[in-house]
Amino acid sequence: MKIQESAENYLETILILSQKNGNVRSIDIANELAFSKPSVSVAMKNLRKAGHILVDEDGYITLTGSGRQIAETIYERHTLLSDWFIQLGVSEKTAREDACRIEHVISAESFSAVKKHVAGQK
């Protein structure tokens, strides 16, 4: 299932914040991404409707199975690509920015090939 890049970014951010802080609320996401609270609120409503997140009565956000799968896929792509670019001599800032763009458009087949290639270099 293909979802919008912005939704992938939100899910990835929820994953990272939950690993870092345990609990995640909309305000945490807004602060992390430097987005307005209303924008994040609309995005959370859409992700909830799509079944990718759950929001409890206290406003804490958790990923559902589908949300976690998407978030982990995007995060793996981001981490592997940015680390690989840095190994190739790209500055950390540029490597992370480029990885963030590529992680959303690279096919599963191409990413698998890159992953095999990188693993073979170690």
Give the pLDDT confidence of 89-105 residue by residue, as tens digits: 999 999 999 999 999 99
Res. 78 pLDDT band, cuts 50 70 90: very high
Per-residue pLDDT, averaged over 66-77, amounts to 96
* Euclidean distance between CA atoms 74 and 5, whole angstroms: 10
By the 8 A CB rule, do 71 and 15 touch? yes
What average pLDDT does the chain have? 93
Residue 120 predicted with pLDDT over 90: no
* 3-12, 44-53, 54-63: segment of lowest average pLDDT: 3-12
Res. 1 pLDDT band, cuts 50 70 90: very low
Q: Which residues are registered as beta bridge partners of 63? A: 53
Per-residue pLDDT, averaged over 44-65, amounts to 96
- Start-end of H helices in 1-122: 5-21, 26-33, 37-49, 65-87, 92-102, 108-121
By the 8 A CB rule, do 84 and 118 touch? yes
Percent above pLDDT 90 for the chain: 90
pTM, to two decimals: 0.89
Per-residue pLDDT, averaged over 65-88, amounts to 96
Indicate the residue type of 16. I
